[in-house]
Amino acid sequence: MSEVSTSPVAAVHLEKTAFHEERKAGSFMIGDVDSDGETSFWYCCPCPCGRIGLLNVGKNFKPADGPSWEWNGSLDAPTLMPSVHHVGHWHGWLQDGVWKSC
């Protein structure tokens, strides 16, 4: 075991109110999906800092305007491509509903 926690963290989908009140590490919420298939992916950093990040994602595609991520459209087992870098303290992947640091 290292001193820095690198344990996988479950990505739990929450509604807006719960997301902002609980600040649960690894939780996320999705904005309304536009007609072009793009939406906002809000997440609470998988480390215990409680900070919230926002990604521009496309449902099953990567939006042309960067920076952006491809989201598989799942709320139960979300996957994002490419990796997520919460600058300064967390970098890793969200795959099949689990945040894995790297």
In the complex, least distance from residue 24 CB atom to Zn ion, rounded to whole angstroms: 12
- Does residue number 89 form part of the binding site for Zn ion (CB under 5 A)? yes
Strand, coil or helix: what is 28?
strand
Does residue 7 contact residue 26 with C-beta atoms inside 8 Å?
Answer: no
Span of 9-17, 33-41, 48-56, 70-78 interacting with Zn ion by CB under 5 A: 48-56
Closer of 24 and 59 to Zn ion (Cβ): 24
Paired with 40 in beta bridges are 56
Of the candidates 12, 33, 49, 52, which one interacts with Zn ion according to CB under 5 A?
A: 49
**Positive or negative, the Cα torsion across 76, 58, 35, 30?**
positive
- Does residue number 45 form part of the binding site for Zn ion (CB under 5 A)? yes
Q: How far apart are CA 102 and CA 93, in angstroms?
A: 8
- Does residue number 90 form part of the binding site for Zn ion (CB under 5 A)? yes
Which residues contact Zn ion (rule: CB under 5 A)? 45, 47, 49, 89-90
